[in-house]
A and B are shown apart, each in its own frame.
Chain A
């Protein structure tokens, strides 16, 4: 019977601790198939850690930015996007004799 030779690939491993938790990158491993990658991921990275779900993704299927693009994420003044930029409202509401509402106090 003919046999197919499998190539080894690098897989990046992610794990979700619970349904609500984000999938967090763990490490990478070398495997000849996604099945083997999942088994090794459990053996290598989840011997103690709690996990609800494990993901394995071939590294060459991941598109990422490099260090040369890291500057792109440097902070500009984005106060118009953030609550920090609207702190003066607290003082305003005090003058109107009311507490300011936030998402926390509303729910």
Chain B
């Protein structure tokens, strides 16, 4: 395996695995506050799935770092040391129940668009993990759709809450796929294309997201907070206002709105559960 291929895979898969774990944090805030028992069970199931995805992906990443003398603990510590990043979309706050809905509907929708590409990539162990993950994501999307449609069909206040959540998440959703081509921020894209780990650019994925979701968002009576958003029918391309990419760069430095708080939360969970890891790796001698 070429070194730069391995390094690319480690960065991609470790980041994906860690992001699944970090991605559970904004949603798990809503487990104790879910509006009904059914909603509580569903969002709990989703949070558990996300952590399960983290387990699958870290397993794949571990096999890649093993020849370098590293293990899972090194990967998990990479997050705290800042050598492994978590996905830009998980640095955002989720202040209302509608945010939980938008995360399931649109953030997971965006994730499936990316993963649908990655699952066709050249590294089979990652693709096998993605197949399992995508199967569960289809439940996540419907879970999110169900929350959003219920709010869209609800009271004026509920529709307002949904609209405000969409306003908050629109820019993060544009960030989700990464910067457009020929940007200083896209240095890794070419290597991914060369090694057939991806076959579409960030912009192509973002366009696909617009095609799938803009009409559906509008069908629910929501307003997308971008007056310049329109489809050029001749080129079949969506025109949109570029988000503020300096905010994106700040997120990459872990200086997004919730970056520090989520890292602290993750670190305290890691420390508080240390005793569980200790118990699992020792066997007390049985007294005779």
Q: Which residues of A contact B (CB under 8 A)?
A: 1-8, 10, 27-30, 32-33, 36, 40, 43-45, 47-48
Partner of A1, one of B59, B63, B128, B285: B285
Chain B residues near A (Cβ < 8 Å): 45, 48-49, 52, 55-56, 59, 62-63, 72, 128-129, 132, 136, 280-285, 287
Q: A1-B287, A43-B52 are in contact. Are A28 and B59 (CB under 8 A)?
A: yes
- Contact at A3–B280, with CB atoms within 8 Å? no
* Residues on A with beta carbons closer than 8 Å to the beta carbon of B136: 48
A26 nearest CB neighbor, chain B only: B132
Determine which of A4, A43, A44 lies in contact with B283 in the assembled complex, contact meaning CB atoms within 8 Å: A4
Q: Tell me whether A44 and B52 are in contact in the complex, defined as CB-CB below 8 angstroms, given that A27-B132, A28-B59, A30-B62 are known contacts.
A: yes
Q: What are the residues of chain A within 8 A of B284 when measuring CB–CB?
A: 1, 3-4
B56 touches A8 (CB 8 A): no
Most chain B C-beta atoms within 10 Å of own C-beta, residue among A7, A32, A33, A40: A32
B49: A residues at CB distance < 8 A: 47
Are A27 and B59 touching (Cβ within 8 A)? yes
**Inter-chain pairs besides A3-B283, A43-B52, 13 sampled, C-beta below 8 Å:** A1-B287, A5-B281, A6-B283, A8-B281, A10-B59, A10-B62, A10-B63, A29-B55, A30-B62, A32-B281, A47-B48, A47-B49, A48-B136
In the assembled complex, which residues on chain B have CB atoms less than 8 Å from the CB atom of A48?
Answer: 136
Main SS class of interface, B: helix
A7 to B158 alpha-carbon distance, docked (Å): 52
> A36–B283 contact, CB under 8 A?
no
Complex: A10 Cα to B284 Cα, angstroms: 22
A29-B59, A43-B52, A47-B49 are known contacts. Are A3 and B285 too (CB-CB below 8 A)? yes
Q: Which of A4, A27, A44, A47 contacts B128 (CB 8 A)?
A: A27
A-B contact pairs, 14 of them (CB 8 A): A3-B284, A4-B283, A6-B283, A8-B281, A10-B63, A27-B59, A27-B129, A28-B59, A29-B55, A30-B72, A33-B283, A44-B56, A47-B48, A47-B49
Query: Which residue on A lies nearest to B129, using beta carbons?
Result: A27
Question: Which chain B residue lies CB-closest to A25?
Answer: B128
Could you tell me the distance between the alpha carbons of A32 and B279 in the complex, rounded to whole angstroms?
Answer: 10
State whether A6 touches B281 (Cβ < 8 A).
yes
The answer to whether B52 touches A3, judged by C-beta atoms less than 8 angstroms apart, is no
The 6 closest A-B pairs by CB, nearest first: A2-B285, A4-B283, A3-B282, A32-B281, A6-B281, A44-B52
CA distance A27 to B132 in the complex (A): 9
Q: Complex: how many Å from CA A29 to CA B60?
A: 9
Tell me, rounded to whole Å, the shortest Cβ–Cβ distance linking A40 to chain B: 8
> Do residues A5 and B282 form an inter-chain contact, with CB atoms below 8 A?
yes
